[in-house]
């Protein structure tokens, strides 16, 4: 008989921002809840390697959910007449809604890219509900580097252009197998979804005025950014870190914007020590 992976997927329907949303999530492991947030335009599969790593699952319950419109979470009813645009309020409600629905006791929330942006908000707004946050490729703000109109228009294939835009955010050292697995998330995403996520990222989440309010004694903050990430650059992360007393920030060599999916082996070198630290927190 074939060996089954320990990852288990389930569905649940939650009310988020007044919408009925059927949410897909998957998980593996037991112990401290580690709620993982995928990048813009992708889905929770990005965290599959963490869920298959016994060094992590021995003491963490690793959970990743797909936001509505992403992966196996459907868009809400009536999506066909809407332009999807993610907001800070909806994103926060979705994350805390999942945490509450699964009765997670002070989870660690780890997000990448836009997920790394929102954890900076959560560290302030929900400090006492969370054990810690880990921001991968995270900053309070960053400079845009292209016009998102190109991501969803009838004369350019949406999946192809999304993947080709972000392909250079994967470090050249990352194995081809994982590079193309990472890009598949973008190649196969729904029309306008990546662009709609970038509404949050670019227009509704400039946190430069509030990261200094984060109290890391209540909610510790860890930031990890790949040296090849030119979207959220190492300089963006280090600038953000300067405004958060007590934050721990590290720049990761030979990694890009998708550390957990583009080069899982390399990412372990950086994330395992952070998870060790987090496991020792009270």
Partner 1 sequence: MAKRSTAGGPPASHAIEHLADIVNADQPLVHRGRFIDLQWLWQIGEVPYFISIQRGMILELVRGPVLMRSHVFAIRGAQESWERFWVPMPRPGFHDLFAMTKSGRASIDGNLQPLMANLRYFKEVLAAPRKLAEDGHHG
DSSP 156: B
Q: Are 110 and 34 in contact (CB under 8 A)?
A: yes
Q: Are 192 and 79 in contact (CB under 8 A)?
A: no
Angle value at C-alpha 142, between 208 and 233, nearest 5 degrees: 120
Closest contact distance (angstroms) between CB of 145 and partner 1 is 4
Closest contact distance (angstroms) between CB of 253 and partner 1 is 10
Nearer Cβ to partner 1, position 29 or 41? 41
Closest contact distance (angstroms) between CB of 170 and partner 1 is 9
Structure token pair of residue 180: 């193309």
Nearer Cβ to partner 1, position 80 or 145? 145
Angle value at C-alpha 37, between 34 and 42, nearest 5 degrees: 145
Buried b (16+ CB within 10 A) or exposed e, 149-163: eebbeeeeebbebbb
Closest contact distance (angstroms) between CB of 220 and partner 1 is 28
Alpha-carbon dihedral 35, 41, 45, 47, rounded to 10 degrees: -50
Nearer Cβ to partner 1, position 21 or 163? 163
Residues that bind partner 1 (CB under 8 A): 143, 145-146, 150, 155-157, 160-161, 163-165, 167-169, 171-173, 227-228, 230
Closest contact distance (angstroms) between CB of 150 and partner 1 is 5
Nearer Cβ to partner 1, position 88 or 173? 173
Nearer Cβ to partner 1, position 18 or 172? 172
Q: Are 224 and 274 in contact (CB under 8 A)?
A: yes
């Amino acid at each position: 008989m074939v060996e089954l992976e320990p990852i288990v997927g389930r569905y649940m329907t939650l009310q988020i921002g007044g919408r009925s949303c059927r949410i897909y999530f998957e998980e593996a492991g037991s112990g401290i809840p580690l709620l993982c947030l995928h990048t813009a335009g992708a889905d929770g599969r990005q965290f599959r390697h963490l869920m298959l790593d016994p060094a992590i699952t021995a003491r963490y319950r690793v959970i990743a959910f797909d936001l509505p419109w992403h992966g196996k979470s459907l868009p809400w009813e009536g999506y066909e007449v809407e332009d999807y645009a993610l907001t800070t309020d909806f994103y926060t409600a979705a994350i805390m809604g999942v945490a509450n629905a699964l009765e997670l006791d002070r989870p660690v929330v780890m997000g990448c890219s836009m997920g790394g942006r929102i954890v900076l908000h959560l560290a302030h707004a929900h400090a006492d509900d969370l054990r810690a946050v880990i921001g991968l490729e995270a900053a309070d703000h960053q400079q845009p580097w292209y016009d998102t109109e190109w991501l969803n228009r009838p004369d350019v294939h949406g999946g192809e252009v999304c993947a080709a835009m972000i392909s250079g955010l994967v470090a050249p050292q990352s194995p081809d197998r994982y590079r193309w697995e990472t890009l598949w998330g973008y190649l196969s995403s729904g029309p306008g979804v990546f662009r709609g996520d970038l509404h949050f990222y670019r227009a509704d989440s400039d946190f430069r005025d509030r990261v200094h309010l984060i109290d890391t004694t209540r909610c510790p903050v860890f930031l990890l950014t790949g040296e090849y990430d030119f979207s959220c650059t190492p300089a963006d992360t280090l600038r953000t870190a300067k405004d958060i007393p007590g934050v721990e920030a590290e720049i990761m060599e030979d990694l890009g914007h998708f550390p957990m999916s583009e080069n899982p082996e390399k990412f372990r070198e950086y994330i395992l020590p952070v998870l060790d630290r987090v496991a020792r927190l009270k």
